[in-house]
Structure 1
Amino acid sequence: MFFRRRPKSPAELSDEELLLRYRQQGDVADLGTLYDRHLTEVFAICRRYLRPDEEAQDAVMQLFEQLVDKLRRHEVSNFPAWLHATVRNHCLLVLRARQRAGPAAGGALVVHFPDAAGMESAAHQHLVSNDADDDAHLTEERLQALEHALAELPDGQRRCLELFYLEKKCYADVAQLTGFDLKQVKSYLQNGKRNLKRYLESSPSSPASPDGFR
């Protein structure tokens, strides 16, 4: 007597298996399961670039709609890395579109870094340019410089800055959440701001100083 093996549920499949089955069968439920696995990271990346949260949430939905078509046509070998790059590029396109629209569409470009890689970091005034493509390229360079600067900070400094400036925690709350004493917290905040400013000023494509960390 032969028993037919039941198909695996989406939750039982690896990312690679879900991608393959989606390309073969086109079942959006498989793609939904795959996207849900990485949804927290996707939203964190969107919030890094886009505010308010409603704009980041809109980007999350737009990205899923794009994946429905992209992943049916393209073979992806490393989904987490590919998704990270796709999300980042989408957010940069949103910023570029806003920049081309001019001050009426939002004025200054504000960049936020709420996840483990960083924190709310900087804003720079919209620069008027006759060449929109060149202006957008400069914006992307600044964003990359900010990310690199934040990644260079020691863990203690980065975490204290994140809690104090982004999550609006007081000194005592930061100390409780990190395990540092108040003297350490104040030292990390002071040194973190100084190091971030120094790193940004050393990069020719970055803003001169991080807004919100004065």
Structure 2
Amino acid sequence: MSWFGKRSKPTEVSDEVLLEHFRQSGDLIYLGDLFEKYMPLVFGVCLKYLGDEEVSKDAVMQIFEGLTIKVNKFEIKNFKSWLYVFTRNHCLMQIRAGYRFKFENLDDVMESAFEKHLEDGDKEGYFMSLDKCMAKLNEQQQQCVSLFYLKEKTYKQVAENTGFSMNEVKSFIQNGKRNLKICMENNGG
């Protein structure tokens, strides 16, 4: 299967072949074709973590730019899986950079867990634990806590966005904070 002459569609060429051609030639057409196969996956992951369509579109472009450097630094056995993890990590880093101060509103609830990780020099571990703990919240708590703290919505806006009553929103946020604290005290377990 030659790339010279008539050009094949990216889906007709294996990920391994596209990756190897990029590594050997440095030609972005190969990496672009490979990335194009998984762009819906990348966008979906970004949208899930970042929650904003425009921010997610920007992240997709940043991820592609990052790939041009990263794919040569790692042994990649399954590009799709590796790209998923790379995308998720990019989003988490973006959240940490942009929303770190917003999560610190939870410090009154989780200060000891944060300080423990800082003492250990493990800021990354703190945010990984926080991410794990957020995922353990029930759907309503997760939704309300994310809207309230990450998106900085008011109780009223959270209620409007979710369809929950004001009392339900307050309850989900309060219980979500409590559950986050318990989970973080158990080292994100």
Match of 1:66 in 2: 69
Distance change (3 Å), C-alpha of 1:20 and 1:46? farther
**TM-score normalised by L of structure 1:** 0.54
Aligned length: 162
**TM-score normalised by L of structure 2:** 0.60
Tell me if 1:111 matches 2:96.
yes
Match of 1:76 in 2: 77
Match of 1:144 in 2: 128
Tell me if 1:121 matches 2:103.
yes
How far did residue 150 of structure 1 move? 1.0
Match of 2:55 in 1: none
Q: Which one-letter code corresponds to 1:121 in the other structure?
A: F
| SS of alignment partner, residue 69 of structure 1 | coil
Q: CA RMSD in A?
A: 4.4
Q: Is the 8 A contact 1:45 1:88 kept in 2?
A: no
Structure 2 distance, partners of 1:8, 1:60, is 24
Tell me if 1:176 matches 2:122.
no
Distance change (3 Å), C-alpha of 1:90 and 1:150? closer
Q: Report Cα offsets for 1:162-196 as digits up to 9, x if no partner.
A: 11121122223222222222221111111111111
Match of 1:20 in 2: 17
Q: Is the 8 A contact 1:45 1:87 kept in 2?
A: no
Q: Report Cα offsets for 1:14-34 as digits up to 9, x if no partner.
A: 7x7244223136441231244
How far did residue 84 of structure 1 move? 3.8
Distance change (3 Å), C-alpha of 1:147 and 1:32? same
Q: Percent identity?
A: 29
Bigger share in helix: 2
Q: Which one-letter code corresponds to 2:67 in the other structure?
A: F
Of 150, 161, 166, the match for 2:150: 166
Distance change (3 Å), C-alpha of 1:29 and 1:68? farther
Distance change (3 Å), C-alpha of 1:180 and 1:33? farther
Structure 2 distance, partners of 1:178, 1:91, is 23
Q: Is the 8 A contact 1:112 1:121 kept in 2?
A: no
Match of 1:100 in 2: none
Is 171-180 or 61-70 further displaced after alignment? Answer: 61-70
Q: Is the 8 A contact 1:113 1:121 kept in 2?
A: no
Structure 2 distance, partners of 1:84, 1:42, is 8
In structure 2, stretches of 5+ residues that fail to align are 51-58, 108-113
How far did residue 46 of structure 1 move? 9.2
Q: Which one-letter code corresponds to 1:21 in the other structure?
A: L
How far did residue 154 of structure 1 move? 0.5
Distance change (3 Å), C-alpha of 1:125 and 1:45? farther
